[in-house]
Structure 1
Amino acid sequence: MHNITIIAGARPNFMKIAPIIHAIQKAKAEGFDLDYRLVHTGQHYDKNMSGSFFEQLEIPEPHANLECSGGSQAEQTANIMISFEKELLAHPADIVLVVGDVTSTMACALVAQKLQTKVAHVEGGIRSDDWTMPEEINRLVTDSITNYFFTTSETANENLKKSGVNDEQIFFVGNTMIDTLLKQQPNFIQPQVWNDLNLFEGNYIVMTLHRPANVDEESQLKDMIDEIIANTQDLPLVFPVHPRTAKILERLHISHQRLHMVKPLSYLEFNYLVQRAKAVITDSGGITEEASVMRVPCLTLRDNTERPETITLGTNELVGTNPKNMKPYLDKLFAGNWKKGNDIPLWDGQTATRIITSLKELFSNN
């Protein structure tokens, strides 16, 4: 029996691993000697991750929850490593599969290698080249000790090759986040806010802001929101707000009749809104991917991105973090001149199947 331990540390990780688990279950049902153990490090405590979250996305409950939330970056990394070492010693694996770029990704890769267990990184090779972002450090460290890379783009492949990774370690498979999106699209749920605000297709903008560079600098945040309000004509702005950001906005007395700050939404509710929005204004990497696949204009409030294919092929534009940059992009949107986007190679809903096919080959050859 080949055993894979799959690591998830935060809500977006579960969207990325759901299709991989489904592909493992399918391979197992077809007689392949393959099993998995799902380990939730508990890195992000998220009250939206109740039983219904697992039910909606058809993800089995994790076999183990290490409950390593809270603390500084260093404390959290250390806590995850201590807990995961015990977990992996008690339940040895042939491969530890890590996804994305959270602290759990890096910490569990380190533990696995120290215990001489092979590491596979789903979403390996993506780079923002911004070392002020903790995620970039996590990516660099993880990729420097990874054995097998499952990549989302040719850019990621090139990044890995430049750092000395051999071709036979790289498997260009696509994007598992998009597997989940395409599978769940028919199941999107209309949120309560749809009727409360009398929304209809194309007549509102969805906003999300969570990066410290945007929300912690208070005058910057106020200027950015003022610019957005000033240049979005009469459209409602729907802003699902993280509790931490909500406190800052309250302190700044930011309010406007068109700015609707709502509670965080479930995955299926949030993407219902994105799919029907005129545009999305965000600083999230994952949302730029989903918006591009759904062909929704996306304005990213960051100075760099680790997902350049959402710009070169998708519907995303990098606006930057200077509030004065907003107007020309919003003018272009309202003039109807936004790019339409193209298909992104291998973002087709079959990525997890390709990952399991590659793993089966690796197991057969070793």
Structure 2
Amino acid sequence: MPKFTLVAGARPNFMKIAPMIHQLQKAQSTNPTLSFRLVHTGQHYDKKMSGDFFEQLNIPEPDANLGGGGGTQAEQTASIMVAFERELMENRPDLVLVVGDVTSTLACSIAAKKLQIDVAHVEGGIRSGDLTMPEEINRMVTDSITDHFFTTSEIANDNLRKAGVPEEKIHYVGNTMIDTLMAQMPRFQKPEGALFDSLVPKNYFVMTMHRPANVDQEQSLKAMIDAILDGTEGLPIIFPVHPRTAKNLQNIGINAPNLHITEPLGYFEFNYLVKNAKGVITDSGGITEEASVMNVPCITLRDNTERAETIHLGTNELVGTDPKKLKPYLAKIMNGDWKQYQGIPRWDGKTASRIVDILMKNYS
């Protein structure tokens, strides 16, 4: 009677978990004793995560919401651990499955292991080498106590081997985020509004920036946006922003007719824009994966990345946080001179099926 608990703490986590839920539901038809619970830690409150969101992903609403959002990193970690421990004591599974690198990933792994429950980490082994990022600490601590590592690349496998993880614990399966991307691509839809109706495919840029290093210092934010405006030669730039970034943009008084600052967009709408863009400028890891698979040029405004395969085999380039370095990269995109997607092994839409096969073999 295998029992699994799947944990998600933020909207992108549900994108990674959705294909696993579909495969577990499929497995239940031949293994009726299999059961699983979906737990939302409540780490990120997101008004877009309504019933529609779960309907779009074709997954059930969470069995529990732990309400662990808000507060400092330590307060959030503690609050999620306390609530998740209670959840596990009331509904003890054979295995807790965590995804990605958010605070919930770390907190729930620790709570599970202290109750002697196995932990599986989807996206185990990825590293940026940058300990100033909370996500890097989350990854390292989670991986130090994980029982099963479901990895996205050979680079992640090597990181784990170097850390002394036995080969039998490493399962090279691919990327569940890409399972969702491939399954949902036919449903991508253009956002509503005159701005989006006016966009010409392959003739605009999509930009996202949220990391404190890029958005918290107003002068460096202004310098970066000025460099982007200069290099994109008047093409429309769609920039969905969170309120904190919007406030900083207001303070620096950026006013360019081709820079369109919008509310955050839904998954279908955002990826529709990415798929049809001339290029993407971002400091997000996940977007570099999706842009690569959709063969869209991607510039990363960071000094390091935990997803090096998107550079070696994808369409991503690591440009750094110095605005002066941006110009030649933007010129290459403008000239249509960008590298093409080479194909990343096992990013084929079948990752969740591999994960569930391994789980059923180990816990049936």
The TM-score bracket by the shorter chain reads over 0.9
CA distance in 2, matches of 1:342, 1:32: 41
1:314 is aligned to: 314
1:51 is aligned to: 51
Q: What percentage of residue pairs aligned between the two structures are identical?
A: 65
**Structure 2 residue matching 1:12: 3-state secondary structure:** helix
Cα pair 2:282 2:300 within 8 Å, conserved: yes
TM-score (norm 1): 0.98
Cα pair 2:275 2:294 within 8 Å, conserved: yes
TM-score (norm 2): 0.99
Cα pair 2:209 2:282 within 8 Å, conserved: yes
Shifted more, 10-19 versus 336-345: the winner is 336-345
Query: Is 2:213 the counterpart of 1:213?
Result: yes
Seen in structure 2, the aligned counterparts of structure 1 residues 160 and 32 have a Cα distance that, compared at 3 Å, is: farther
CA distance in 2, matches of 1:21, 1:88: 19
1:256 is aligned to: 256
Aligned counterparts, 1:161-310, within 5 A:
161-193=161-193, 196=196, 198-310=198-310
Aligned counterparts, 1:328-339, within 5 A:
328-339=328-339
For residues 258-292 of structure 1, the C-alpha deviation after alignment (integer angstroms, 9 at most, x for no partner) is: 00001110000000000000000000000000000
1:117 is aligned to: 117
Seen in structure 2, the aligned counterparts of structure 1 residues 113 and 196 have a Cα distance that, compared at 3 Å, is: closer
Shifted more, 73-82 versus 332-341: the winner is 332-341
CA distance in 2, matches of 1:225, 1:336: 22
Aligned counterparts, 1:98-109, within 5 A:
98-109=98-109
1:91 is aligned to: 91
- Shift of residue 193 of structure 1? 4.2
Where does the alignment leave 5 or more consecutive residues of structure 1 unmatched? none
For residues 218-237 of structure 1, the C-alpha deviation after alignment (integer angstroms, 9 at most, x for no partner) is: 11100000000011012100
For residues 101-136 of structure 1, the C-alpha deviation after alignment (integer angstroms, 9 at most, x for no partner) is: 000000000000000000000000000000000000
Across the aligned residues of Structure 1 and Structure 2, the Cα RMSD in angstroms comes to 0.9
Cα pair 1:103 1:138 within 8 Å, conserved: yes
**Structure 2 residue matching 1:192: 3-state secondary structure:** coil
CA distance in 2, matches of 1:194, 1:151: 42
CA distance in 1, matches of 2:142, 2:159: 14
1:26 is aligned to: 26
Query: Is 2:323 the counterpart of 1:323?
Result: yes
- Shift of residue 50 of structure 1? 1.1
For residues 138-169 of structure 1, the C-alpha deviation after alignment (integer angstroms, 9 at most, x for no partner) is: 00000000000000000000000000100000
2:144 is aligned to: 144
Counterpart residue type for residue 158 of structure 1 = D
Cα pair 1:179 1:348 within 8 Å, conserved: yes
1:69 is aligned to: 69
CA distance in 1, matches of 2:327, 2:66: 46
**Structure 1 residue matching 2:120: 3-state secondary structure:** strand
CA distance in 1, matches of 2:335, 2:274: 20
CA distance in 2, matches of 1:257, 1:193: 17
- Shift of residue 31 of structure 1? 2.9
CA distance in 1, matches of 2:27, 2:73: 37
- Shift of residue 33 of structure 1? 3.3
Query: Is 2:157 the counterpart of 1:157?
Result: yes
Cα pair 2:190 2:196 within 8 Å, conserved: no
Seen in structure 2, the aligned counterparts of structure 1 residues 205 and 81 have a Cα distance that, compared at 3 Å, is: same
CA distance in 1, matches of 2:341, 2:22: 29
Query: Is 2:358 the counterpart of 1:348?
Result: no
Cα pair 2:43 2:67 within 8 Å, conserved: yes
**Paired residue total:** 364
Cα pair 1:7 1:38 within 8 Å, conserved: yes
- Shift of residue 327 of structure 1? 0.3
- Shift of residue 30 of structure 1? 2.4
2:129 is aligned to: 129
CA distance in 2, matches of 1:241, 1:196: 16
Seen in structure 2, the aligned counterparts of structure 1 residues 278 and 12 have a Cα distance that, compared at 3 Å, is: same
**Structure 1 residue matching 2:26: 3-state secondary structure:** helix
**Structure 2 residue matching 1:178: 3-state secondary structure:** helix
Where does the alignment leave 5 or more consecutive residues of structure 2 unmatched? none
**Structure 1 residue matching 2:341: 3-state secondary structure:** coil
Seen in structure 2, the aligned counterparts of structure 1 residues 310 and 163 have a Cα distance that, compared at 3 Å, is: same
Seen in structure 2, the aligned counterparts of structure 1 residues 30 and 195 have a Cα distance that, compared at 3 Å, is: farther
Cα pair 1:194 1:200 within 8 Å, conserved: no
Seen in structure 2, the aligned counterparts of structure 1 residues 195 and 252 have a Cα distance that, compared at 3 Å, is: closer
Seen in structure 2, the aligned counterparts of structure 1 residues 194 and 147 have a Cα distance that, compared at 3 Å, is: farther
- Shift of residue 195 of structure 1? 5.0
For residues 55-98 of structure 1, the C-alpha deviation after alignment (integer angstroms, 9 at most, x for no partner) is: 11112100000011100000000000010011100000000000
CA distance in 2, matches of 1:315, 1:35: 39
